[in-house]
Amino acid sequence: MFSAVLFCVLLNYAWGDLPSSPVVFRVKRQNGPVYLCGTYPNQYYSYYPCYIEQNKCPNGGDMLGIGCIHSAQCTPHYNGVTTCISGCCCTVPNTVPPNPPQPPVGAYGFCYDGQRSNVRCSAADQCPTGQSCMNGLCCGLTNEESRYACGGQLSLGSCSNEGCDKGYQCTASNYCCECPVGQSGGQCTNGRTCPRGFTCQPNGYCCASCPDNRTPFGACRPGGVCGGSARCMPGNICC
C-alpha cells in the first residue's frame, strides 16, 4: 500500500503536479497519518507533523502541522476555529474589534460631580436613558441633580407639569431655578440694575447666557474650571 502511495506521488511528480504544501496520507499498517512534508524538490515522508519547528501561521495562529486542501480538513485536529492557509492547517486567533477612536480629553466638559461629557443638550429628551441634561451637558444620574441643577446651586424643587411656582423657570434638568441656565445675579425689580454680564428677565431675576445664546458647556467647577476650551462666564456657566 505504501509503495502504491509513493507511486502516485511520483506519478504526480512526473506530471509536474507535485503538491508544494503538506499533504496527509493515511497508511493502514500505521496507527497515525503519514505526512508528505517539505517543498519540491526537497520533499519527504514523515510520521511526525510537518513544520515541526515552525509554529506560527501568516494569520498569527498556531500551525497544526497538518496538510490540507480545504479548511474542513483541519476541523478534526483542533478543538476550536481552524482554517487552511497555503496547504497547512492553522488555528484562527480570536479577533477583538478595536475600540472606536475617542474624542480628545479637551473635547469634554465637566458635569456637576466631576463626570466628563461631550454631549450637549438644551432639553431633557436630548439625553440617553439614565442621563439628565444638566447645565447644557448630558450627565449620568446620581440622585444629586437637585443640588446642582441651577448652575451648580441648589434648585427650588422639581417642575410640576413642566411648570414652577411664580417667578421660577423650569430648566432642561426638570428642576425649578431662577434662571434658564446658570446662577442668578440677583433680582432686578424696583429699578435695580443687573451686574455686568447679566440681563433682567421677565421673572424679575438677573440671568446670564453664553454669547449668541449658545448652550453652556456645563457649569464652572470650583476655581472657575471649565472643560475643553470653554471659559467660566457670569452665572457660573462655561461658554
Type of residue found at 158: S
Its domain, for residue 39, covers: 2-91
- Residue 118 inside a domain? The answer is no
- Residue 29 inside a domain? The answer is yes
Measured CA to CA, the distance from residue 43 to residue 232 in angstroms comes to: 77
Scan for cell 441651577, then name that residue: 150
State pLDDT tens for residues 24-79.
444 444 566 666 665 565 556 666 666 555 678 888 888 887 878 888 888 888 88
- Residue 115 inside a domain? The answer is no
State pLDDT tens for residues 173-232.
999 999 988 999 999 988 889 998 899 999 999 999 888 888 899 999 888 989 888 999
- 147: three-class secondary structure by DSSP: helix
Measured CA to CA, the distance from residue 36 to residue 5 in angstroms comes to: 11
Q: How many structural domains compose the chain?
A: 1
Nearest CA to 155 among 185, 182, 122? 182
pTM above 0.95, yes or no: no
